[in-house]
A = this chain, B = another copy of it.
Amino acid sequence: MLMQNVKGTFDFFGNEQLLRKKTQSVLQEVFELYDFDGMDSTMLNELDLLTSKYAGGDEIVKEMYQLTDQGMRNLGLRYDLTIPFAKVIALNPSIELPYKRYEIGKVFRDGPVKRGRLREFLQCDVDIVGVEGPEAEAELMQVAVEAFKRLNVPITLRWNNRKFLGEILEKNGVTSDEKLSVMLTLDKIEKIGNEGVVKELISKGLDPQVTSALTELIQIDDSSFEYLSNKYNIEKSKGSLEVHALQQLIDKLELDKACQFDPFLSRGLSFYTGTVYEIFDASKTFTSSLGGGGRYDAIIGKLVGREDIQYPTVGISFGMESIMEMIKNRPIQLPQPVVVVLPIGETVSVVLKTAAVLRSNGIRTGLEISKRKLKKSLSSVAAKGIRFVILIGEDEANAGMIRLKDMKEKTEIVVTLEEAIKRIEYERKSVL
């Protein structure tokens, strides 16, 4: 069958598109209040960039759409907004640091399709480059809390620090070669449960003593930062100091209710170097992540190939498709015309001209030129809750007048268009 959408892709229109756009506006407004600068990076990218070892890593590259152009260049569709951002910073040394950007755009992943997870989907990202932290981390948490507050979605933001987790793993005998792989497994606790994690750890062929230490670790009663740093005697380690500093800020900013430390969170991507975040629905009606991010200090410098410039960077991404899964049933009213203009007889040209004048005056105007019976047209207008109708018959047209019907007041007057515009605007303002 020719007519079908590609698996995992959807068209949006009507109420759904309106709600999507409103959600994007809310996010954009918050991003701009927080003084982030808008960006629109390329969707097509050099394959080498997307598969570079500093980029997303094997897991994500497997799901990348690849293509070639007529010049046989190897390209890929972006799978996130992070690598393209790193590219923009690397390519534009004139950008003054610290730099804060936001971007709302589509990304593509050829992966499993489920609720809130599509193959072509919208991400909304903010990133700060040039601040070592933890102020930048805390500011992104503020952005997330403010944005979801405005969206009226209760969230829990879980956070961790990869260095700290790495230090704990070391203390449990995990070698540096095994570290990333073990982290990726621990990250799945929510998804596959403790048993699933243990099974996967065993399958990795770690030293049995290490596996049993890790099994004990994930079943620990008290997984607080204080308990763990004390238990492993790493209170003064680099990771511990970072966690401590950010926790202090979170407490002072009174973000501690929404932002909870989780020592087993690590996020799938290999490029994170410090703090990682993941945002969840606090009401737990929706279990997938609503967004996430983290610090990736190493990528830009490595892409640029200059070890002498520091590009400490931290970002957070909001997933539009997950957010929509949570709010899609909210009532929303498609914008309606303020006034509908109707011809009676051969007055279509006058109707079109009248409509253009109304529109250039900032009045959203509909046309009813479908040649239905007048009564039908009027009842359709009434059903939509549209208040004003302008009828133009040949008599009115010849006299340079229009017939203004107020469907609410049930009045009808013959006036000039200027007079009608005044009345419509007066009534609109008195409603606002």
Q: Which residues of A contact B (CB under 8 A)?
A: 2-7, 9-14, 17-18, 20-21, 30, 32-35, 37-46, 48-49, 52, 65-67, 69-71, 73, 75, 77, 84, 87-88, 90-92, 95, 98, 101, 106, 108, 110, 119-120, 130-131, 135, 138-139, 142, 146, 248-249, 252-254, 303-304, 334-335, 337, 348-350, 352-353, 355-356, 359-360, 362-367, 369-370
Chain B residues within 8 Å of A6, by CB: 42, 44-46, 69, 73, 75
Residue A360 contacts which of B11, B146, B370 (CB distance < 8 angstroms)? Answer: B146
Which B residues lie within 8 Å of A252 (CB)?
349-350, 353
Task: Kindly list the 4 A-B residue pairs having the minimum CB-CB distance in the complex, ordered from nearest.
Answer: A252-B349, A67-B67, A33-B359, A9-B42
Residues of B within 8 A of A120 (CB): 42-44
- A3-B303, A11-B87 known; 13 new pairs, CB 8 Å cut-off, are A3-B87, A6-B42, A6-B45, A6-B75, A9-B43, A11-B40, A13-B38, A13-B88, A14-B37, A32-B364, A65-B69, A69-B110, A254-B353
Give the oligomeric copy count: 2
Q: Is the CB of B44 within 8 A of A9?
A: yes
Could you show 14 A-B contacts with beta carbons less than 8 Å apart? Answer: A2-B52, A6-B44, A7-B69, A7-B73, A10-B42, A11-B40, A11-B42, A11-B92, A12-B41, A33-B365, A44-B108, A65-B67, A70-B110, A139-B352
Closest residue of B by beta carbon distance from A108:
B44
